[in-house]
Amino acid sequence: MFPAALFVIFTLIAVPTFAQSPYVGASVGMDVSRFDRVEAAGFNDVTAGGEVVAFSLRLGTAVRENWGVELGFTRPSKLERESNRGFPIPLLANASAPIGIGIAIPAFEATTRVERRNTTLDALAWVAQPVGSRVDLVYLGGIAFNRIVEDINFQFTRRIVGIVVPNSTRTITYDVGPVAGIEARIGLTDHVRLVPGVRLQSLGGNAAQGWLLRTSAGLAWQF
């Protein structure tokens, strides 16, 4: 993550002063994530994705008239999921039952609560296409560095004596994947830009792969 960030910073520094047009921005939007999941009767996979609010900060500059580079950081709110599940263990009905015939009863029941946060750092290049005197259509592409933190908490309502199961676990996964997007930069004043847009990137997780669709709207200050 840090080598890519340093590369972008050094790129900004290396660009001749006359060619630079730096900007900073902030935006708020919605992250829609989907991961590999398992669907079966009586089984609910709580590690699937969902929708959360996300906040982003951006720093970029034009390298030439219609293209440049950008570094962005996005921290969404936590995605929370909850599931109730019973775990049966086969037991013999009684001593008088025929050999080999048994019944299954719920040995213990648990409520599983999953909290997931996908924090990303984007290193991007962009190309702008003017579509009016104060509007540019911008195409972006690059690499997303993802840090996925997943907390799983268990609460047991019925439990067999002697069975010890961890009550909580935390998994931290680092992943790198491509990101692409499109946005509009609408001039409100000589320095202020309204920036709505959408981006799509790949995501990895704890033994799960998926994708993230990020829609946002914000303001940017052009120096």
The percent of the chain in helix, strand and coil, each rounded to the nearest 5, is 5, 70, 25
Q: Which of 49, 73, 50, 48 is nearest to 60 (CA)?
A: 73
CA triple 181-184-189, angle to 5 deg: 145
Q: Indicate the pLDDT class of residue 15, thresholds 50, 70 and 90.
A: very low
Q: What is the CATH number of the domain that holds 186?
A: 2.40.160.20
In a domain, 91, yes or no: no
pLDDT at residue 11 is higher than 50: no
Asked whether residue 164 is assigned to any structural domain, the reply reads yes
Average model confidence (pLDDT) across the chain = 78
The share of the chain scoring above pLDDT 70, in percent, equals 66
pTM, whole model, 2 decimals? Answer: 0.72
Q: Is residue 98 part of a domain?
A: no
Length of the chain: 223
Per-residue model confidence (pLDDT) at position 81 = 78
97: in domain: no
In a domain, 95, yes or no: no
The total number of structural domains that make up the chain: 1
Evaluate whether residue 96 is within a structural domain.
Answer: no
Report d(CA 192, CA 13) in Å as an integer.
23
Residue 94 pLDDT: 44
Instruction: Provide the pLDDT for residue 47.
Output: 59
Range of the domain at 56: 2-86+105-222
pLDDT digits (tens, 9 = 90+) for 118-175: 899 999 999 999 998 899 999 999 999 999 888 888 776 655 555 555 578 888 889 8
DSSP conformational letter for 65:
S
Considering the domain boundaries, does residue 7 fall inside one? yes
pLDDT average, residue stretch 177-201: 95
Residue 219, pLDDT > 80, answer yes
Q: Tokens representing 32?
A: 């829609």
Cα→Cα distances 222→89, 170, 187, 190, Å: 64, 41, 10, 8
pLDDT at 57: 97
* pLDDT given at position 167: 75
